[in-house]
Amino acid sequence: MPTIEHSFEDNIITTTIDRVLGWARESSIWPMGFGLACCAIEMMGTGAAHYDLARFGMEVFRASPRQADIMIVAGRVSQKMAPVLRQVYDQMMEPKWVISMGVCASSGGMFNNYAIVQGVDQVVPVDVYAPGCPPTPETLIHAIETLHGLIESNEILKRRAVTGAGAQFAIQHDHSASGVIEIGGRR
């Protein structure tokens, strides 16, 4: 006959609050797609039935930034779109994460000119980069799984607490006649 001590060994799990919070955050990410170019088609394909983002609890891309906690920036970001991207990012609730999808979002890609931001990390802090032109749905899923691992281990929040990344990026509007907007300036 089993004793009471043996029944507790099989039914009790011990952990820390940080691990429970990391697991809960990792398991309930709500994405907001910020599709700007051809990478957006691959991002939409990832949400389709063949790749099934529902297994990650991410099947519905949110239309409001107030309901999302991960932004997937897919495609090239123009100088005119950068302030909009930053405004949407600022409206998202904390903690929030960013995936840069594609070479254009990550580094400006083949568009090395004045009209395209040379990396979305000049506008918002990027947590995971998904390389490719355009990256395949498998690459985006790998980036999502990488982000899940970072969230569950709380490495992202520890890094942000140490470096302050995510709090120092700003867009400064120039209200003079030239209308120039500086992106990525430090406060």
Instruction: Catalogue all structural domains in the chain, each as residue range(s) with its CATH number.
Output: 15-186 (3.40.50.12280)
Residues 95, 89: Cα–Cα separation, whole Å? 11
φ, ψ dihedrals at 51, nearest 5°: -100, -25
pTM of the model: 0.75
pLDDT in tens, 33-83: 788 888 888 888 888 878 888 787 777 788 888 888 889 999 889 999 999
Query: Positive or negative, the Cα torsion across 31, 94, 92, 125?
Result: negative
